[in-house]
């Protein structure tokens, strides 16, 4: 039982209709790790600059996360991202992005992490995703994310990465861009034709869809009355899903469906407040209570 994540750790500034947060802890690997650590111990591989605040390091240390793969690169600056959400929070504009250390050489997987069972490659250059995956001996499950700029600018490299992983977790717009298919069931099937044996397509407030070789499952989002900041929902979703799968050890369709529930619920906590403010206050019991409420809500005779 060991789950490795590679991805970004950053300093975010976010504006939503519910307020704003300046210079807060963010990044795909951060949200993923907090969600996954509700189920299993996470091995985090990422790189920050020497300006990374000590207080953020303390926050990361609070989660059940092994930070041996967190490199602090001397003379480099931490990744920064700023975004603003539309009034309905379904769209967001990037106001500023400073790749800084993310534009340099990628991190290395520590030798002690090479035996990881489950690997999540958060969004980054598809060549780097493959290099990182290649440093893990024989994971029983590997999953990747991607984003619009790689779909547009590095389609061939992205295809090679997709051919190397077992699963993909991406959002609906990316699935359509990647496959050229508007219908999401069809887009999911087209992703499977590229290599993965399952695709999870996230649809924001409309939930998510799991497509495997012989099944399609849709799940709504858990309803939240006051969404304060959707940032990190997708990465928390992936963390909840893969944390659950790593802990349970199974990866058949029934297990993937149960994992879909956990991912959905993990994301529902993240969006209740800015940065990690809500998610970091959640424990496994509170998460499972919400999973139970969700299952009760979905059970329609
Ligand atoms: P999500 O809302 O799940 O897409 O995750 C948002 C997080 O991803 C934010 O905390 C950002 O710091 C991080 N992020 C945004 N753009 C990038 C990028 N180009 N590369 C890596 N991480 C990013």
Ligand 1 atom with minimal separation from the 231 CA: 2
Determine phi and psi for 260, rounding to 5 degrees.
-60, -40
Residue ID of nearest Cα to ligand 1 atom 11: 27
Nearest CA to ligand 1 atom 14: 27
Output phi, psi for 259, to 5 deg: -70, -35
Distance in Å, CA 93 to ligand 1 centroid: 12
Per-residue confidence (pLDDT) for residue 142, from 0 to 100 = 98
How far apart are the CA of 215 and the centre of ligand 1, in A?
Answer: 30
pTM: 0.97
As a whole number of angstroms, the distance between CA 204 and CA 228 comes to: 14
Residue 100's alpha-carbon distances to 47, 77, 81, in angstroms, are 10, 5, 10
Q: Name the residue at shortest CA distance from atom 9 of ligand 1.
A: 27
pLDDT of the residue at 132: 97
Residue nearest to atom 13 of ligand 1 (CA): 27
pLDDT value for 1: 86
Which atom of ligand 1 has the smallest separation from the CA of 237?
A: 3
Residue nearest to atom 16 of ligand 1 (CA): 81
Q: Which two tokens stand for residue 90?
A: 């379904």
- Residues in contact with ligand 1 by the CB-under-6-Å rule are 8, 10, 12, 26-28, 81, 123, 231-235
How far is the centre of ligand 1, averaged over its atoms, from the C-alpha of 275 (Å)? 12
The residue contributing the CA closest to ligand 1 atom 15 is 81
> What tens-digit pLDDT sequence spans the chain (301 residues)?
899 999 999 999 999 999 999 999 999 999 999 999 999 999 999 999 999 999 999 999 988 899 999 999 999 999 999 999 999 999 999 999 999 999 999 999 999 999 999 999 999 999 999 999 999 999 999 999 999 999 999 999 999 999 999 999 999 999 999 999 999 999 999 999 999 999 999 999 999 999 999 999 999 999 999 999 999 999 999 999 999 999 999 999 999 999 999 999 999 999 999 999 999 999 999 999 999 999 999 999 9
| Ligand 1 midpoint to CA 27 (Å) | 5
Q: In 3D, which of 176, 27, 13 has the Cα closest to residue 83? A: 13
Q: Which of 7, 8, 154, 276 to mutate to test the pocket of ligand 1 (most atoms within 8 A of CB)?
A: 8
Alpha-carbon gap, residue 188 to 203, rounded angstroms: 13
* Residue among 23, 25, 79, 81 whose CB has most ligand 1 atoms within 8 A, to mutate: 81
> Which of 7, 23, 28 gets mutated to test ligand 1 (max ligand atoms within 8 A of its CB)?
28
- Closest C-alpha to ligand 1, atom 5: 232
């Amino acid at each position: 039982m060991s789950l490795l994540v590679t991805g970004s750790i950053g300093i975010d500034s976010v504006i939503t209709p519910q307020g704003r947060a300046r210079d807060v802890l963010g990044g795909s690997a951060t949200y993923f790790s907090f969600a996954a650590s509700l189920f299993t111990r996470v091995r985090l591989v990422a790189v920050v600059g020497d300006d990374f605040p000590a207080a953020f390091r303390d926050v990361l240390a609070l989660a059940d996360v092994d930070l041996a793969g967190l490199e602090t690169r001397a003379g480099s600056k931490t990744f920064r991202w700023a975004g603003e959400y539309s009034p309905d929070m379904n769209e967001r504009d990037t106001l500023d992005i400073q790749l800084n250390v993310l534009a340099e050489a990628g991190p290395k997987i520590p030798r002690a992490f090479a035996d990881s069972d489950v690997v999540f490659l958060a969004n980054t250059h598809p060549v780097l995703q493959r290099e990182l995956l290649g440093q893990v001996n024989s994971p029983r499950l590997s999953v990747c994310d991607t984003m619009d700029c790689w779909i547009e600018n590095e389609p061939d490299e992205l295809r090679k990465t997709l051919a190397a992983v077992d699963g993909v977790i991406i959002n609906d717009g990316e699935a359509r861009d990647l496959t050229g298919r508007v219908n999401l069931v069809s887009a999911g099937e087209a992703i499977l034709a590229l290599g993965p044996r399952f695709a999870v397509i996230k649809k924001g407030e409309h939930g998510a869809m799991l497509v495997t070789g012989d099944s399609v499952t849709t799940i709504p989002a858990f309803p939240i009355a006051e969404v304060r900041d959707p940032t990190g929902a997708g990465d928390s979703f992936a963390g909840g899903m893969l944390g659950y799968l790593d802990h349970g050890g199974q990866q058949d369709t029934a297990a993937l469906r149960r994992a879909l529930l956990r991912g959905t619920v993990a994301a529902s906590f993240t969006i209740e407040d800015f940065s990690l403010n809500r998610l970091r206050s959640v424990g496994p019991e509170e998460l499972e209570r919400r999973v139970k409420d969700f299952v009760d809500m979905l059970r329609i005779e």
